[in-house]
Structure formats: C-alpha cells, structure tokens
Amino acid sequence: MNMVRTAMLLAFMTALFMAIGFVIGGTGGMLIALAIAALMNAFSYWNADKMVLRMHHAVEVDERSAPEYYGIVRQLAERADLPMPKVYLIKNDQPNAFATGRNPDNAAVAATTGLLHMLTHQEVAGVMAHELAHVKHRDTLTMTITATLAGAITMLGNFAFFFRGGRNNPLGIIGILAAMILAPLAAGVVQMAVSRTREYSADRGGAEICGYPMWLASALAKIAGGAKRVVNEDAERNPATAHMFIINPLSGQRMDGLFSTHPATENRIAELRKMDSEFGGAQTDDVVMPNSRRPEEPPAHSGPWGRSPGTRQFKGPWS
C-alpha cells in the first residue's frame, strides 16, 4: 500500500511540474518539465535522504561519540526487529527529531542536541521509537521525496514569474499567477496530508515499540513547548522539510486545521493517553502541556529492554 501511495505522490508531483512547464513554455516547456521531473524522481529516490540531512547539518555519530543516544536507538531497533539505522546528531537548540531513508535497510534517524539536553532517557526513547515506527511503516521514503519535490515545485513556480512565460505562454499573466500561487500551495497540501495522517500512526507504533505510550506523550509536550521558544534557522530556510519532524519546527504554526503540517500536540497526547489505558493506565496523569503548572516528567520505570533509563538528562561531547 505504501508503494502505491508513493507512486501516486510521484505522479501528482510530476503533473505539477508539467503544469508549471506548460505555463512557462507551452507544450515544449511541459515536455522539458516532464524530463526534469523524471530526473528529480530518480535522484530523490536515491539521494533525497542525504540532501535533507545535509540541509540540517546533521553529523553521523556512533557508540563512541554518543554512547547513550546510540545505545537507545540500537535497543529500540532490536525490539522493532529493524536493521540498525544510521544515527545522526544535529547541533540545534530546538528540541526535535526526524527519520529519513528509502527503506529500513537504508534508514537514518536524527535528533537535535536541544532534544537530548531537554528530555529524559525515557522521553528520548519514546521519540526515537516514534521515528523507528516511521521507518518500520516505510513512511520515510514518501516523506523525504515529498520534501525534496515540494521545494523544487516552489522554486519552479517562482521561475514562472521571472520568465513571464515567454512567447509560448498560452495563459498569459493569469497562468503565471496561478503557477506562482497554486503550485506551491498544492505541494504544501500534499505535505500536510502526508504528515498528518502518518504522525498518529507513528505515535501508536512508537508507543508499541518502547512499551510506554506516556514516555512519548511527555516528550511531545516538552518538544512542543521548546519548539515555540527556539527558532530553528535551518528549518526556516528549508520549510519543505518541516513535515518530517516529530513536531513542526517552524514558528507560528500550531493549529490543528487544514494548513497545519502536524496534528495538534494536545490531540496526539490525548490519543496516547487512550493507548496508555489499553496498556494498563499506569502513567495517564503524568503528562501535561507546557503551559500547565504541574511537572511534565514521568516517574522512572524499568525500560522494556532490561534496565531503567532513569530520569537524568543526556550529557555528551555536544554539550
């Protein structure tokens, strides 16, 4: 089913490329855009993950450079019956994380230094379990390709204005304005639809992997609060990648409406509370949203991988 969705996504993005090409140069422009789209699709399949990691200045780490962080990912990958993904660290004060890669055998997970500093071991485990759920569900290919092509469509839409469609432009100024406004908007709507439907699924999958839904719920509350306070400059420069993060990294976007890249954090926590009840309800009262006066950290529990992760925060060479 994911392969079908990916094929439909690529077809839609290709159609957008062709429509903009038609506005810029008529039939000839459409054929050129089709060729560019074909090359972009092939390039995105093999290289989009590397591009996204490079956009956010992610650095690969291992058991020596980040033993606690790497160890949590390794143990969760074993629990999820997944190959060990590459592990990346992003030097950024905003707490956030994402996963990328074309399949589980070529996957990568990335977390910011802000996330490792702010969250407890338990909460980091919840976040990384969420990202591994994206890998397990094979969401990463679709989300990564969407980020790459949406950015390219926006850029091509801007080209329509600068080139003014030339002599072969069959739609005149109306076509130019449509290409500038509607094409990036359509690409953005696709991003939103891709992200919003998959975040709930990854929340559930991540809770099943780590065994404690409220670890992730507590992490989401903290990340949502931190993302509002700290600007992520790399994300602001590359907004087409926003839907890949566990919480929207862009400033000023928190509504659970049509144009939000992520479901509202309150709604996601509510779903995790329901899941926690299914698990026995041991932690349903331990998570609050950032504006609440009650503490956000959950109590310590033995980790499902054999030892207690504790409640202390991460320290490491990135400090």
Let me know: does 15 contact 182? Beta carbons within 8 Å. no
All residues at 6 or more sequence positions from 166 whose CB lies less than 8 Å from its CB, including other chains? 24, 25
Q: What is the 3-state secondary structure (H, E, C) of the chain?
A: CHHHHHHHHHHHHHHHHHHHHHHHHHHHHHHHHHHHHHHHHHHHHHHHHHHHHHHCCEEEECCCCCHHHHHHHHHHHHHCCCCCCEEEEECCCCCCEEEEECCHHHEEEEEEHHHHHHCEHHHHHHHHHHHHHHHHCCHHHHHHHHHHHHHHHHHHHHHHHHHCCCCCCCCHHHHHHHHHHHHHHHHHHHHHHHHHHHHHHHHHHHHHHHCCHHHHHHHHHHHHHHHHHCCCHHHHHCHHHHHHECCCCCCCCCCCCCCCCCCCHHHHHHHHHHHHHHHCCCCCCCCCCCCCCCCCCCCCCCCCCCCCCCCCECCCCCC
Burial of 207 (0-12, 13-18, 19+ CB in 10 A): buried
Q: Is 233 a known active-site residue?
A: no
Looking at 60, 68, 123, 131, which residue is catalytic?
131
Residues known to be catalytic:
131
